[in-house]
Structure 1
């Protein structure tokens, strides 16, 4: 009987030690699930970006710089280790890829420069230099409200050297085109030596109509 009580006591002590270990700061997994992968600003911009590319490109999010850039051969081990460490530490907001082979077309980062603590407010010299050395178009787009799909399309096309065709102006859902027939001028016309015909006022026209009625 004493042995059973001793065993129960020992079991209670072990459970208490395990519970205390996980409750302390030494917990190897002090984590919890995020409520959302993207911030509201990132989510809104991503939706506009996907509409802007219109299936022409695949949009990837939160891509590590090391996933799209590799180190050249022939560099020293020290340089390789240092560069690889920096590449793995940098993340890109959006990457546009060719859907046929998933090759990188352009890189986009959102910028909040309203204050120095904003998201990527200060350009990262290593990211800029690495993407430039790898000949990858890099766009830094300021966070703001009121972005339109056409505006994002124009920015991307300009960076990639493409021409953007502006849609014709529309009126009540219909394409507004130019006049289909000549428009007559409202001014009195003159021909040769003929004197211009003066425009009559409303009272003069009414007086002439009254005179014609009385004469008939």
Structure 2
């Protein structure tokens, strides 16, 4: 008799679990609560993306809205809890743009486009965290202030500086980066 009661309780428990699982999954008859967003980038991000592509040409592949956890890994941690804490800090964040070498798509430089919201405490702490995480991983991170227009030469120059490209003074006083392409191709390789 005892095994019969135990069996009934087990069947009842399985039915309860199955019912709960079904409630968490959208059935074919139900409409999923998702909609397509109008655009991947905000107008400011789209404008900057165009300048990035124009200024860097074929030197890089430009990717947008890349999850930080897909670019930065977690070093060996002493405990699973420490690993999980480190992962949680990066899993919900993304880089606005990621520059990769065209041949092997190795990440070379991350870019953040900062609007006025980045002057607030929480956003500043996020930017500081990203800066330190990227520095620890050896990934240059460049912050650009959001503005109405961007000059391709300024964008190219800031990326070149981040990658450590040699620079020299031009006759007209501008800074030029004659070795940008070579430096970009070598960035991130050991």
**In which range does the TM-score fall when normalised by the shorter chain?**
0.5 to 0.7
How far apart are the structure 2 equivalents of 1:141 and 1:107?
11
Q: Is the 8 A contact 2:118 2:124 kept in 1?
A: no
SS at match of 1:59: strand
Match of 1:108, SS state, is strand
Structure with greater proportional helix content: 2
> How many Å apart are 1:116 and its aligned residue?
4.8
Partner of residue 81, structure 1: 84
CA displacement, residues 43-74 of structure 1 (integer Å, 9 cap, x when unaligned): 11001001111110111111111111111125
Distance apart, 1:30 and its partner CA? 2.4
Asked if the contact 1:113/1:122 (under 8 Å) is kept, the reply is no
Equivalent residue, structure 2, for 1:105: 108
Within a 5 Å distance, the mapping from 1:195-206 to structure 2 comes to none
Gaps of 5+ in 2: 1-25, 173-190
From 60, 64, 76, the counterpart of 1:61 = 64
Higher mean C-alpha deviation, range 50-59 or range 124-133: 124-133
Is the aligned partner of 1:146 residue 2:145?
Answer: no
Change (3 A) 1:84 1:50: same
TM-score relative to the length of structure 2: 0.66
SS at match of 2:105: coil
Relative contact order, higher structure (CA 8 A, sep 6+) = 2
Find out whether 1:122 has 2:124 as its counterpart.
yes
- Runs (4+) off by over 6 Å: 165-169
Structure ID, larger Rg: 1
Paired residue secondary structure (2:124): coil
**Distance change in 2, residues 1:97/1:61 (3 Å):** same
Q: CA deviation at 1:40?
A: 1.0
Q: Distance in 2 between matches of 1:115 and 1:90?
A: 14
Residue 133 of structure 1: how far off its partner (Å)? 0.6
